[in-house]
Structure 1
Amino acid sequence: MPSDYTVARIRGRLHLSELIALNDFIWSANTPKVLIDFDGYSHSSIFDLTFLAHQIKAIQLKKKIRVESINDDHMSWARGMNFFSVSGTDWASQVSANRGDGHNFIPITIIECGKSGSALSRTEMNEEIDRHASKLAKVLLHLGSGPTYDTIQYTFREVIRNIFEHSGAKTFLMSGQYYPSHGNVQIVIADTGLGIPNSLRFNKSFKNLSDRDALQIALMPGVSGNASAMRRERTDIWQNSGYGLYMMTRLARNRGMMTVISGNNVIHINNSDDARPAKENFTISNFSGTLIRLGIKIDDMDLAPKLQEWAEEGKIIARDIAGAKQLDASAASLLLRRDFERNM
């Protein structure tokens, strides 16, 4: 008799390509239940866990199948980071949500994009965006003020506001981890909205782009905030200038790496000093929304000179991109100090 479940076995570490293969295997299951066997899982990162939680939630919702974990007793860190409770794989016990210490880590947390019964007002939305961006910036920098903090916080604010304004998502996942022994930080944000390619296609300048090209151009300055060609007063300090993904890209190429997943495409960007290629593309199936991972080294981090240097180059590049929003030197855009390689 055919089995009523499929077993997905994990062996060793899950690099990006292995995660994509595991995702494809789980989605291909034609049984009412999938068991994820973590017996051989030797390493977990906040990216692995957030990616899996995002996709496991999606497959249970869309395919109406039940996903359970087995042989996971050794994964106490993953349990403490809310992986099992958020993904819905821990059916055997009720796990209380770990809210984090607000300094070294942010467990996988479900963030609501609205409130029960009614939409958020503009002021409420801005306050929510600012609060979550501040939390990410503090984990990333171990700072709560200063020019570098202001710029990084603004970067996260733009990425998060794209979820609120353009994605159509009702919730998103947010997580972060500081690794003291390695001196680096990873931040992950994942939503189940329209996705970057579909969002950009609302703008006639980008309507014919492939998923790969859409992701590529979304990393350029002035693009991602202009998805719907929205017009606002130029004196509005909350306006979305579209520099969030661009800033993350510059940080990744200088200090670490970044992964962006949306539509059927994945872009992974590495520090140019790394042995791996500076930019890699992968395809992925059955992925809804957008996931962004930023991992950077923060030892002796002095971004101020670089941020100052990158500002003017970003403005020049934005002028060369059809459809990119042109902003005056508002209080917000003055925080954006970055550069970009034209041939990326």
Structure 2
Amino acid sequence: MACFNLPQNLSLTEAINFCNRLWEAPPDTKYEFDFRRMGMVEPFTMAYVANEMKRFRKSKEDAQFTALNVQQHTYPAHMGFFKAFGLNHGNAPGQASGSSTYIPLTLLNVADIEQEAARRAVNPGDVIEEKASQIAQLLIRQSEGNLVDTLTFSIREIMRNVVEHSGSDFIEYCGQYWPSRNMVEVAILDVGNGVRYGLRDNPDLKISCDRDALHLALLPGISGKMYRGVRRRPNDAWQNSGFGLYMTSRICRAGGNFFIASNGAGLLLDATGKEDRVTSYQGTALRLRFNTQSLTNYDEMLTRFRREGYQAARQFSGDQAIEPSMASTMLSRDFQSK
């Protein structure tokens, strides 16, 4: 029987290492998971580990799985962690109503977004932005202001990528606000095709591995849908121009950090630089962390990032650089009112 002990501190590093060990283990007919030592958990690591354990179980349909010592873990049970990977314990994802400081594991159906957009004759980006704003307002207990705008923008851009590129049926998300630490964490995951697949149609990109795809995707002006030869639609504010991930990662690095994993590759960015991580994750998983005290002057910050990003894009592509779209650099309400 293969036995796995969940780490005491389910931090980002420990969660990645645990899941990597899971997939490196020799095949067996019985698997035992002991949660006795598991202490601190975070929104992203809960979602990340739950998705990997669910995938692991599905890959071994004939094996027997046992979970030990789960009763004392009331927080992850309430958040939907255990049922997310198939254990009949606690709430199901989306069952808990959440509170003013957290959002439980929640699944958002991509088809529902597209159907609502069609029904209202709007772009799916408008529907996603409304959902992103609800998440932001719930987490930080404010209805407006720089922090709501910043968080809304970042959540929207990640969710847009899932709908436009991933092929995933669902967007999974959760979050936590720690007022004593002035910290917000948002996790957004999918089990789609991954970042490299989303860039596949761009003939100017030579991508040999998923690590390269991650590094390219975070550069300004890099897109699988917008490149030299694609006609720019002047009246389409939502046309993808490859600045969403760049802008979001810059925002996170300004007062926290940004992590992305896709099909075995991982990349952690903060104010000091970037660090590659080897992961087992299939699909795309992102963690956004903000220090709420450092995010001020939203308009000025995004304008500066947009200007610097376009200057960088021109260094890569010269006069062929694609200018950032309005949707990739601000909230829809900002450009609809102009």
Q: TM-score range by the shorter chain?
A: 0.7 to 0.9
Q: CA deviation at 1:62?
A: 3.5
C-alpha separation in 2, matches of 1:41 and 1:24: 17
State the partner residue of 2:72: 74
Q: 2:292 aligns with which of 298, 301, 308?
A: 298
Q: CA deviation at 1:221?
A: 1.7
Q: Is the 8 A contact 1:53 1:83 kept in 2?
A: yes
2:122 match: secondary structure: helix
Q: CA deviation at 1:78?
A: 0.8
Residue 8 (str. 1) matches residue 4 (str. 2): yes
Query: What letter is aligned with 2:201?
Result: F
Q: How many equivalent pairs are there?
A: 323
C-alpha separation in 1, matches of 2:103 and 2:224: 26
State the partner residue of 2:276: 281
Map 1:199-238 → 2, pairs under 5 A: 199-224=198-223, 226=225, 233-238=233-238
1:271-315 alpha-carbon deviations (Å, 9 max, x no partner): 33xxxxx32112123x21100001111036414343332221111
State the partner residue of 2:303: 308
Map 1:40-51 → 2, pairs under 5 A: 40-51=37-48
State the partner residue of 1:189: 188
Query: What letter is aligned with 2:219?
Result: M
The CA RMSD measured in Å over matched residues stands at: 3.1
Q: CA deviation at 1:86?
A: 2.0
Q: Is the 8 A contact 1:199 1:227 kept in 2?
A: no
Q: CA deviation at 1:129?
A: 1.5
TM-score by length of 2: 0.83
Q: CA deviation at 1:113?
A: 0.9
Map 1:1-344 → 2, pairs under 5 A: 3=1, 6-27=2-23, 28=25, 30-64=27-61, 65=63, 67-88=65-86, 90-91=87-88, 97-101=95-99, 103-115=100-112, 121=118, 123=122, 125-139=124-138, 141-146=140-145, 149-224=148-223, 226=225, 233-272=233-272, 278-285=273-280, 287-299=281-293, 301-304=295-298, 305-322=300-317, 326-327=322-323, 331-333=326-328, 335=330
Q: CA deviation at 1:268?
A: 0.9
1:238 match: secondary structure: coil
Q: CA deviation at 1:91?
A: 2.5
1:31 match: secondary structure: coil
Higher relative helix content: 2
Do the aligned partners of residues 77 and 205 (structure 1) sit closer, same or farther apart at CA in structure 2, a change above 3 Å counting?
A: same
1:138-163 alpha-carbon deviations (Å, 9 max, x no partner): 25654333466445423322221111
Do the aligned partners of residues 67 and 317 (structure 1) sit closer, same or farther apart at CA in structure 2, a change above 3 Å counting?
A: farther
The share of aligned pairs that are identical, in percent, is: 30
1:30-78 alpha-carbon deviations (Å, 9 max, x no partner): 2344332110112111121011112122223343256553212221111
Q: Is the 8 A contact 2:5 2:33 kept in 1?
A: yes
Query: What letter is aligned with 1:144?
Result: S
C-alpha separation in 1, matches of 2:171 and 2:65: 20
Q: Is the 8 A contact 1:185 1:296 kept in 2?
A: yes
State the partner residue of 1:340: none
1:109 match: secondary structure: strand
Do the aligned partners of residues 57 and 120 (structure 1) sit closer, same or farther apart at CA in structure 2, a change above 3 Å counting?
A: farther
Larger CA deviation: 226-235 vs 198-207 = 226-235
TM-score by length of 1: 0.82
Where structure 1 has 5 or more consecutive residues not aligned to the other structure, the ranges are 273-277, 337-344
Query: What letter is aligned with 2:6?
Result: I
Where structure 2 has 5 or more consecutive residues not aligned to the other structure, the ranges are 332-338
Do the aligned partners of residues 109 and 33 (structure 1) sit closer, same or farther apart at CA in structure 2, a change above 3 Å counting?
A: farther
Q: CA deviation at 1:258?
A: 1.2
